[in-house]
Structure 1
């Protein structure tokens, strides 16, 4: 699946820019004072779980739409993907 993505500035889009890594990596801010060593692990692990949940919801919504249109093979493929993620 080839996808062409153009930025507003018409510059090639970088990995860092596409994933918004600066913004993403700025979100792991432990809140405890003094900082607890395992807090960063907790934040990162739970943010990752939330991203997986978001993907599962998107896949299931798409699968429902595909079932409604009669594309059962593709819908089943997406449901299997959700099972794999789970």
Structure 2
């Protein structure tokens, strides 16, 4: 099991959250999605999956929902791997 955190820009409401959640759940292996909405800012999206996800798959799902991965000024595309509790 892997948990990763991504930043997503442009979400402003519950409908935005629902759209991103639904698209991420179509990515093979995703078992849970949690989103901390920051209206108009960079929202934190935590994705749990059976195995590490391909960044391109995550970016494509978020793009399909109409949003973009945030730019956190690192080379990981707004992605952080979190330790499992």
Alignment TM-score > 0.5, same fold: no
TM range (shorter): under 0.3
Which gives a bigger RCO, structure 1 or 2 (Cα 8 Å, sep 6+)? 2
> Of Structure 1 and Structure 2, which has the larger fraction of its residues in helix?
1
Higher strand share: 2
Q: Normalization by structure 2: what TM-score?
A: 0.24
TM-score (norm 1): 0.24
- Tell me which structure has the larger Cα radius of gyration: 1
